[in-house]
Every structure is written in C-alpha cells, then in structure tokens.
C-alpha cells in the first residue's frame, strides 16, 4: 500500500482568453490594488499596458529585470511594490518573471536582507504578498510550484530556492499567450515540461497522484509538441501544451526534479544552453539509465504512455529533439572538459532524487556516449 501526502493549494483558472478576466478574478478573490511584473517583451508589444487598462486595480508595471533574474532586481521590484502599496501581484511571462515575482512577494514582508534567505541562513516566517502567476510559455510549471530560481549578483551563483511562501495564490493559464512564442522557445519549454513529467515519475519521491498528472502530461506532449513547434497558430496544440505543462508542474511540485535538472545547471551556466534545452540534453539518456531502477518500474510506465519499452521512449525523445533542432552532442554544446562537467552534475543536490545515483566513472561514460 502506498503511503503519501499530496497538497496543491494554488487556485487554477484555465482556458484560452482567460487573462481577459483578470479584473473580475481579482475582485472575486477580494483583492483591490495590484502590480504587474511583466517580461519586457510584453511591455514592448503593448500587452502589459493593455492588461493595465483592462484591469483598473493594477497600479503599476515593473519589467526592469534580466532573463536570468538577479537578486538586485528582486530588491528593485520590492521597492516598487511598497511604493505602490499593493495587496496582490500579477506575474506575466516565462520562468524569469515568475521567479522574480515569487521572491519579491515574499521579500515585501521579510525581516532580513535578501541574501539571508537565498543562502538559507534565514527562513521566511511571514506570508508574502499574494501572487497571480500567468505563464506565457508552456513549459516551466512555475505557476503551481514553490520554487524560484535567481542569480546572486555578487557571487554569480544561480540556485533554486524552495519555500511554501513561493506558491502562487492563483494561476491563470491562457494558451492564447503562447501563440506568439517562436519555434525554438516552443521546443525548449516543451522539452522542459517533458523533463518535469518524466522526472516526477522516476523521482525517489514519486507517488500515485503525481504519476497520474505526469503520465497524462507526457501523452499530451508527445501528441502535441511537434505540432505546436511546426505551426505556432495551431490553437488545439497550444492549448494541449499549456495543459501538459500545468499537469507536469502539478506532478513535480511534490516530487521535485532529479538527474536531468541536476545536469541542467552546469550546462546552462557554463555552456549557455537554455534551461529547457539543458534539461533535454540528458533526458533520453536518463530514461535509459533509470529503466532498470525499482524493478524496471519505468518500463511499465513507458508502456502506459504507449511505448513498447523504455528504450522506445528514449528513442522518441531523441527523435523529437533532432527534429526540433535541439543540441544533442557534446560538440554541438562546445563541451570539452567532461570531467569538470561530471563533477558538477553528480554533486548537485537534485541528483539525490534520481533513482540511480551515478558515480564519477558512470557519469563520464554517460556523457561520452553523447559525443
């Protein structure tokens, strides 16, 4: 008999065009004055300003942050939130907008400096400002997770921070926002969602409810990602990918990610791969590595997804990556010092969630197979 706990406190509004209901959603939930934290692309396109016009309770827009948000930028956002005297925040964009907004909402009521929390010297003891998370890509799942990834300006350290304070109050998933996403970002974010789903399945923390979310997510991604990549205006594929990303987020929010994400940090920091491409770089390899774990549990899961075995699942992932022009070899990524990469991968804390924890020799062979 399984023994598990499942909790998902985020209130979810899903549907094409749902963002147009932002004003009424805020009113229904008792909020009166908000701020919009938006990716710059939506300020440049005018969408952020349109949202403010449609939502009179939005007091201001903050977009002064990088694609990889810095702690100093979080502090700037907090200053604006206090200046505008808001009682809720809306975050619109990809992972960076949501990551920054999560941290900023908690820092708005924090007792200590930001690095005290970033380096785990203190924990948030006061609830932050309520956050409405509005993802503009189908991938991160950040709208239903308690994780924020930021960068320390002083040390250059990029790290995830998890805390219950970072869980959004409300998630608004509107697939119409993803229509304008270019193919390479569609591919990268879609593979990120697939990594979330598969890592939730094989994480040492896996459990039945998360398995259901993850398997459904995988099926949707295999059926729709290449369609969305080939034709960005395919509304059905876009809607299904938004749903898949949400389901993957619901799955890994409890289990946490594992080996692929452990490897993604040095791959993105040292070799400048986008987060999704960095996760996808080792995804099919981890399918093969983890296939033997837990009495071949992944083999059964692969069959439930419609594959004859785990090897066929890995082959399908590799085929998708190649078709969508993603990097698949060490040479394509410019990786020469394999030993240094291996050391960083095996020492990352997320590797502890992987069912098979490779040693240095196994990790070296793992990457040599990607030449």
Q: pLDDT by residue (tens digit) across 115-128?
A: 999 999 999 999 99
Question: What are the structural domains of the chain?
Answer: 11-177 (3.40.50.1970), 181-368 (1.20.1090.10)
Tokens matching residue 333 = 């990524």
Q: What are 269's two structure tokens? A: 């920091």
Task: Give residue 3's pLDDT band: very low, low, confident or very high (50, 70, 90).
Answer: confident
The pLDDT tens digits for 119-170 are 999 999 999 999 999 999 999 999 999 999 999 999 988 888 999 999 999 9
Nearest to 104 by CA among 121, 120, 83: 83
Average of per-residue pLDDT across 72-98: 97
SS3 content of the chain, % helix, strand, coil (to 5): 55, 10, 30
- Beta partners for 90? 36, 132
Check residue 2 and give its pLDDT. 74
Total Cβ atoms within 10 A of residue 50: 13
Q: Which two tokens stand for residue 304?
A: 């439930």
115-130 burial, b if ≥16 CB within 10 A, otherwise e? eebbeeeeebeeebbb
Q: What is the pLDDT of residues 351-364, one digit of tens each?
A: 999 999 999 999 99
- Percent of the chain surpassing pLDDT 90: 93
| pTM as predicted | 0.94
Q: Is the pLDDT reported for residue 181 higher than 80?
A: yes
């Amino acid at each position: 008999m399984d023994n598990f706990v499942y909790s998902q406190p985020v209130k979810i509004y899903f549907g094409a065009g749902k963002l147009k209901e932002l004003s009424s959603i805020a009113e229904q939930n008792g909020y009166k004055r908000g701020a919009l934290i938006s990716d710059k692309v939506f300020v440049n396109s005018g969408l952020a300003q349109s949202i403010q016009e449609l939502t009179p309770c939005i007091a201001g827009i903050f977009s002064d942050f990088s694609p990889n948000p810095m702690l100093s930028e979080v502090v700037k956002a907090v200053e604006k939130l206090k200046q505008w005297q808001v009682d809720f925040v809306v975050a619109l964009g990809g992972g960076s907008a949501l990551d920054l907004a999560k941290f900023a909402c908690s820092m708005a009521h924090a007792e200590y400096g930001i690095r005290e929390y970033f380096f785990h010297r203190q924990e948030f003891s006061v609830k932050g400002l309520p956050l409405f998370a509005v993802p503009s890509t189908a991938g991160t799942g950040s709208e239903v997770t308690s994780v924020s990834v930021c960068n320390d300006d002083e040390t250059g350290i990029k790290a995830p921070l998890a805390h219950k304070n970072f869980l959004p109050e409300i998630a608004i998933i509107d697939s119409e926002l993803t229509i304008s996403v270019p193919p390479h970002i569609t591919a990268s974010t879609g593979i990120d969602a697939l990594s979330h789903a598969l890592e939730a399945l094989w994480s040492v923390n896996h459990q039945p409810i998360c398995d259901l979310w993850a398997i459904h997510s995988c099926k949707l991604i295999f059926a729709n990602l290449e369609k969305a990549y080939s034709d960005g205006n395919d509304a059905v594929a876009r809607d299904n990918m938004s749903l898949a990303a949400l389901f993957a987020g619901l799955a890994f929010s409890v289990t946490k990610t594992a080996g692929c994400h452990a490897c993604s940090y040095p791959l993105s920091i040292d070799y400048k791969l986008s987060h999704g491409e960095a996760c996808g770089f080792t995804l099919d390899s981890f399918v093969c590595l983890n296939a033997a774990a837990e009495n071949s549990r992944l083999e059964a899961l692969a069959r439930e997804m419609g594959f004859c075995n785990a090897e066929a699942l890995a082959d399908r992932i590799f085929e998708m990556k190649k078709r969508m022009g993603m990097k698949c070899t060490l040479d394509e990524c410019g990786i020469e010092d394999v030993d240094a990469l291996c050391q960083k991968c095996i020492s990352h804390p997320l590797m502890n969630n992987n069912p098979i924890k490779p040693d240095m020799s196994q990790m070296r062979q793992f990457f040599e197979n990607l030449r």
